[in-house]
Structures are given as C-alpha cells and as structure tokens.
C-alpha cells in the first residue's frame, strides 16, 4: 500500500500527530517531470535564452511548486526543464500551456532545437 511508504518516511523522532501527518502527505505527494532539450551544435546559448523565458511564467502557474531551467554541466548543449506540481492536472496544464508551446515553436523556427526528450 502506498500509505505505508510514507509512514516509513515520517521522521521517527516526531510523535505521530494525525493533522501534521496529513500535511506531510500533501507535501510529499507531488508530480515531477524532467524534460531534456538539446541544442543544435553552436546554438546552446541562444536556446538557453529562449528556454529561460519560460521560468517566470511557469513558476506563476497554478499548482507549480518548483520550475527551473538549468544547463547540464557535463554537456553544454543539453538543457533541463525541471518541474514539480501539486497535481496531475497541474502537470498536464503545464504541457498544454500556450507559453510553453510558443517557446518551443520559436526554438524550432530559429533552428535551435536538435532534440526534445520528455
């Protein structure tokens, strides 16, 4: 049962308070994604500028707990979009967001995008 997994994660030093445990569960259960975006050779900086335009609007979306655009240190042509969402519906809303579609469309039109992995 899924609940048992969270019970095992509950800090043993804390007495079990039902209300606090329910708050802990609400925080512990979130939906995350990592999207990897690879730039065309020599166009990583431009792709990064394009993707960074997503950060603020995505962080303001309903249900967003965290959203970051980061460059992978081991591979300068690779960028990651990392997101944590309160619900499955919020995660799906992210992928359907017009701003995300606009930024990806712009990257494709400017020939910055070599690959996209969700």
**Fold adopted by 30-117:** Alpha-Beta Plaits (3.30.70)
65-93: per-residue pLDDT in tens? Answer: 999 999 999 999 999 999 999 999 999 99
Quote the pTM value.
Answer: 0.73
Give the residue extent of every domain in the chain.
30-117
pLDDT of residue 13: 55
Instruction: Tell me the two tokens of residue 15.
Output: 């007495």
Compute the distance between CA of residue 12 and CA of residue 72 in angstroms, rounded to an integer.
Answer: 36
CA distance 77 to 38: 6
Query: What's CA 41's distance to the chain center, in Å?
Result: 25
Buried b (16+ CB within 10 A) or exposed e, 100-116: beebbeebeeeebbbee
What pLDDT, in 10s, does the model give residues 31-71? 899 999 999 999 999 999 999 999 999 999 999 999 999 99
Residue 24, pLDDT > 70, answer no
């Amino acid at each position: 049962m899924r609940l048992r997994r969270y019970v095992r994660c509950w800090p043993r030093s804390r007495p079990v308070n039902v209300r606090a445990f329910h708050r802990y569960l609400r925080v512990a259960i979130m939906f995350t994604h990592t999207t990897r975006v690879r730039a065309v050779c020599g166009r990583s900086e431009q792709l990064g500028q394009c993707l960074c335009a997503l950060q603020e609007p995505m962080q303001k979306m309903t249900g967003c707990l965290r959203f970051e655009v980061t460059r992978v240190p081991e591979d300068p042509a690779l960028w990651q979009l990392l997101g944590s969402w309160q619900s499955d519906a919020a995660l799906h809303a992210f992928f359907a967001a017009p701003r995300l579609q606009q930024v990806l469309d712009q990257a494709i039109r400017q020939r910055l995008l070599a690959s996209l992995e969700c």
